[in-house]
Structure 1
Amino acid sequence: MLSRTASDLYWMSRYLERAENLARMLDVSYSLSLMPQDGRGDGLNEIAMPLLITGTLDDYLERHGDLHAERLLHFFALDAENPASIFSCLGAARASAHAVRGRITADMWENINATYLEIRGIAEQGLSRYGMSRFCEWVKERSHLFRGATYGTIMRNDAFRFIRLGTFIERADNTLRMLDARYEMLELRGPSANAAADSSAAGYYQWSALLRALSSFEAYTEVYRDAPGARQVAELLLLRADIPRSLRACLEELDIILASLPGANGRPAQRLAAELDARLRYTGIDEILDEGLHEWLNEFIPLLAQLGSVIHTSYLEAA
């Protein structure tokens, strides 16, 4: 497969996964902003959380000045001038899909094309009329439909592997950033953090909202009996291989996919993925908390970025 084709397939899936992750992020922030606050912040600060997670705070302030709830939501949802918005991500995904139209199935193309056309209609209608929660659910639903069309119709060849590669590296990064943001919001920094430190009502709703945003709340209630806390949530989202959006699950998939790609030029990416997977496989939650959850996450996020860079060098750059 040509590196340009692999790159388009990889980024098509990354942008689609990013759009879904942004919708999940916005949904949890918007829902929490509507709840009574406890004095550690207000609803506007909660809505601004995606700016900190995605590193777009400076871009927003440069364009819009002060934080404003309605402008913040539009900035992340439908702003065509913001390259990090859901609208821009879906547009970029469609452009990549169009470039590899012959390597994806008709069902996949029709889904992604219809999604882009529909979001253009939503943008014309306006977010205030469409509804924020309804919009986030729509984005997630369209992502699920595309994933279903992909799994149900495409051959299990290199095209399928590069699509999955983009999905899982984007998903792993999002899980790390969302977990770190929630942890900081609750001011649970340092090695002394434990379940007792976030036993308040605010802690319960923050952790529950994070679990729901990552479609892991039902799994949490099946695994743990206690109310959600830093220790249990971190263990679930970082170390359990049976949670679809956990870091461990994503790295296992990345390791398997990279190992299945032919050619010797991918060995650096394969080696790094295997090392990161082995590190998680033999790490316990106590080791992470002893180091400090915030510190551990901020050490692992650059490692994941490094893996993405090595994948790009190994497979996606023209020789």
Structure 2
Amino acid sequence: MLSRTASDLYWMSRYLERAENLARMLDVSYSLSLMPQDGRGAGLDELAMPLMITGTLEDYLQRHGELHAERMLNYFALDAENPASIYCCLQAARSNAHAVRGRITADMWENINASWLEMRGIAVQGLGRYGMSRFCEWVKERSHLFRGATYGTIMRGDAYSFIRLGVFIERADNTLRLLDARYELLGEDADEVSDSSARGYYQWSALLKALSSFEAYTELYRGAPDAAQVAEMLLLRPDVPRSLHACLLELAQILIQLPGINGRPAQRMAAELEARLRYTGIEEVLAVGLHDWLSEYILQVRQLGAAIHSAYLEAA
């Protein structure tokens, strides 16, 4: 497969996954910002979290001044000048899909094209009239539909592999950043969450719901969520679909199936990262410090993405 085609497929799926992740993050942050606060500015922290996670806080403040719920939500949902917005993610995904129209199925193309056309209609209507929660659910639904169309219609060849690579690289990075941001926001409460800590309970529960993992948590653990149990599930358990371990396991398996010798550095890196997680306990993670451990793995996932790009997506 030509590197340009592989790159378009990879980034098509990355942008769609990013749009879904942004919708999940915005829905949770907005909901938590509306809850009664404890006087420590938690509402503003919630509004700032998506900006801090995506590295767009400075750009937002330059363009819009102080934090404001409606402006922040529009900035991430429908702002055509913000490359990190859901609008721009869907636009980029549709552009990449158009470039590889002959390598994806009719069902996949019709889904992504319809999503973009509907997004343009929502942008004209405005988020205030459409509704924030409804918008976030719509984005997640369109992402699920595209994933289902992909799984159900495309041949299991190189195109399918590069689409899945984009999904799991983006998902791994998102899980790490969301967990790190939520842990940092809790501050001194992060390691002391109990049934009496309403703020901690809602913070950890919101994170689990953002990653569609709340039901899995209630099945695996007892009692209120705390830092150790949430981190163990979202980092180390391979049976939780959005966990770091599950993503790296998928990446390692996909990379080993791709032909050629150029991908060996990326294959080795993915296998090493997955093996480290397989034999790591949560006690080791907490001994290092959750923030430091997450920061290291955010860098490692970024390096893995760079290795994949160098091996497969750059023109020879």
Give the TM interval when normalised to the shorter protein: over 0.9
Matches within 5 A, 1:94-173: 94-173=94-173
Q: Deviations over 1:177-234 (max 9, x none)?
A: 0000110110049xxx645579511000000010000000000000001211101100
The residue that corresponds to 1:234 in the other structure is 231
Paired residue type of 2:301: L
Consecutive unaligned residues of structure 2, counting only runs of 5 or more, are none
- Is the contact between residue 45 and residue 185 of structure 2 (CA under 8 Å) also seen in structure 1? no
The residue that corresponds to 1:86 in the other structure is 86
Q: How far apart are the structure 2 equivalents of 1:25 and 1:230? A: 19
Paired residue type of 2:66: D
Paired residue type of 1:280: L
Q: How far apart are the structure 1 equivalents of 2:155 and 2:135? A: 32
Q: 1:267 to 1:199 in 2, by over 3 A?
A: farther
- Is the contact between residue 198 and residue 229 of structure 1 (CA under 8 Å) also seen in structure 2? no
* Counterpart secondary structure, 2:80: coil
The residue that corresponds to 2:267 in the other structure is 270
Structure 1 outlier segments of 4+, above 3 Å: 193-199
The residue that corresponds to 2:7 in the other structure is 7
Q: Deviations over 1:31-77 (max 9, x none)?
A: 10111111222423312210001111111112112211111000000
Residue 244 of structure 1 deviates from its aligned partner by: 0.2
The residue that corresponds to 1:314 in the other structure is 311
Q: How far apart are the structure 1 equivalents of 2:275 and 2:289? A: 20
Q: How far apart are the structure 2 equivalents of 1:145 and 1:37? A: 37
**2:286 is the alignment partner of 1:289:** yes
The residue that corresponds to 1:54 in the other structure is 54
Consecutive unaligned residues of structure 1, counting only runs of 5 or more, are none
The residue that corresponds to 2:30 in the other structure is 30
Q: Which moved more, 1:35-44 or 1:260-269?
A: 35-44
Q: How far apart are the structure 2 equivalents of 1:199 and 1:161? A: 46
Q: How far apart are the structure 1 equivalents of 2:235 and 2:288? A: 15
Residue 14 of structure 1 deviates from its aligned partner by: 0.2
**2:168 is the alignment partner of 1:206:** no
Paired residue type of 1:241: P
Q: How far apart are the structure 2 equivalents of 1:301 and 1:188? A: 23
Q: How far apart are the structure 2 equivalents of 1:40 and 1:279? A: 38
1:258 to 255, 258, 264: 255
* Counterpart secondary structure, 2:187: coil
- Is the contact between residue 14 and residue 166 of structure 1 (CA under 8 Å) also seen in structure 2? yes
Residue 135 of structure 1 deviates from its aligned partner by: 0.4
* Counterpart secondary structure, 1:67: coil
* Counterpart secondary structure, 2:224: coil
What is the TM-score normalised by the length of structure 2?
0.98
2:276 to 269, 276, 279: 279
Q: How far apart are the structure 2 equivalents of 1:289 and 1:302? A: 18
